[in-house]
Amino acid sequence: DRLVGPEADSEESAVEAALRPKELGEFIGQPKVREQLDLVLKAARQRNGTADHVLLSGAPGLGKTTLSMIIAAEMAAPIRITSGPAIQHAGDLAAILSSLQEGEVLFLDEIHRMSRPAEEMLYMAMEDFRVDVIVGKGPGATAIPLELPPFTLVGATTRAGLLPPPLRDRFGFTAHMEFYEPHELEQVVHRSARLLDVEIDTDGAAEIAGRSRGTPRIANRLLRRVRDYAQVKADGSIDQDIASRALGVYEVDERGLDRLDRAVLTALLKLFGGGPVGLSTLSVAVGEERETVEEVAEPFLVREGLLARTPRGRIATPAAWDHLDMPRPTQNPP
Ligand code: ADP
């Protein structure tokens, strides 16, 4: 597992649960999403109704699960959590839908990975609070309509564009979650440190925030590793020096690049003069699978403006030379 990977690892869920903001007012950053969602929820409460279906799109670790739990808490409703890949048959979905209570929030993570028949059942459930349960097979099969109590579907996806338009259109409200600004991540770090009972100063929090790739999940994870270091190597409290030494041990640099990211960048600069070079050649040079380089390392390097994917191959940007402290090549060699 990568320290800077955006997905939660298996042992992380319990720790994460403890660090989750419980109400909208506690949720840091995403000011637009918070303001819009606040209106949606307040209006639903005033009408004594159920909130509209909500679609949350954004990268892993930005707070989609957290927000779904906040929606349920703000509506004083229970929540059921499941995911697209867990629902392969329409029957799986029918079982969940038919057991929902009135007003319940159904959180469907990775909603774009649901099977087609389940998706079609969901259309009707979202729109009319009704499903047709098919009983039997072949010519004798009959559809038995089943009324559902009104519920709020909160769907989460890494990209809203991955959803078929008919599904996308059935959400009353869509929120796009952006990567967090460093000052917002600093607040996340301060808040988590308080909950974990760790002492941290402003510069220490800024140091961790700057290496967290715009992602609260990563900020919380780095904080836990820095806490270990501070406890073992010092008196337990975190300042900039401790944070920077600790993350040095874990090979997460000032910009949040890890060993793999740096290896890709270093090969691109040192072996291929900054490119262009093909993905396969670059991967062999790094000693990694093509997929690893393309899917694990490159997205962040591209987002940071350090690497560009062009039709002729991968190229390093001037910022890449600066980041690795190497002199930029001259534009037109004599
Ligand atoms: P996602 O569902 O988008 O992958 P999660 O909701 O599971 O992300 O969030 C991952 C972790 O980051 C959680 O432990 C949560 O406490 C923390 N987190 C996410 N967003 C925020 C936020 N806005 N403020 C504080 N903590 C946050």
Let me know if 65 is a catalytic residue: yes
> What pLDDT sits at residue 160?
83
> What pLDDT sits at residue 332?
59
What's the mean pLDDT when you consider all of the chain? Answer: 94
Mean pLDDT of 199-212: 98
323 C-beta closer than 6 A to ligand 1? no
Let me know if 137 is a catalytic residue: no
Give the pLDDT confidence of 274-300 residue by residue, as tens digits: 989 999 999 999 999 999 999 999 999
CA of residue 102 to ligand 1 center, whole Å:
27
> What pLDDT sits at residue 221?
96
> What pLDDT sits at residue 15?
86
> What pLDDT sits at residue 133?
85
Angle separating helix axes 259-270 and 279-286, nearest 10 degrees: 120
Q: How far apart are CA 309 and CA 298, in angstroms?
A: 9
- Cβ atoms of 73 and 41 closer than 8 Å: no
Give the pLDDT confidence of 87-143 residue by residue, as tens digits: 988 889 999 999 999 999 999 999 999 999 999 999 999 999 999 988 888 888 998
The single residue listed with the structure tokens 């690795």 is 324
Let me know if 281 is a catalytic residue: no
Mean pLDDT of 307-318: 96
Share above pLDDT 90 across residues of the chain, in percent, rounded to a whole number: 87
Residue nearest to atom 15 of ligand 1 (CA): 20
Give the pLDDT confidence of 17-65 residue by residue, as tens digits: 899 999 999 999 999 999 999 999 999 999 999 999 999 999 999 999 9
Instruction: Tell me if residue 115 falls in helix, strand or coil.
Output: coil
Residue nearest to atom 12 of ligand 1 (CA): 217
225 or 90, higher pLDDT = 225
Instruction: Tell me if residue 54 falls in helix, strand or coil.
Output: strand
The single residue listed with the structure tokens 């002492």 is 199
28 C-beta closer than 6 A to ligand 1? yes
Instruction: Tell me if residue 154 falls in helix, strand or coil.
Output: strand
Cα distances (Å, whole numbers) of residue 263 to 72, 157, 326? 43, 30, 14
What lies within 8 Å, CB to CB, of 315 at 6+ separation is: 268, 274, 275, 276, 277, 307, 308
Catalytic residue from among 2, 132, 158, 201: 158
> What pLDDT sits at residue 334?
53
Evaluate if residue 333 carries a pLDDT over 70. no
> What pLDDT sits at residue 61?
95
- Cβ atoms of 175 and 54 closer than 8 Å: yes
Using DSSP bridges, classify how beta strands 152-157 and 105-109 pair: parallel, antiparallel or unpaired. Answer: parallel
In the chain, what is the greatest distance between 2 CA atoms, to the nearest angstrom? 81
Let me know if 239 is a catalytic residue: no
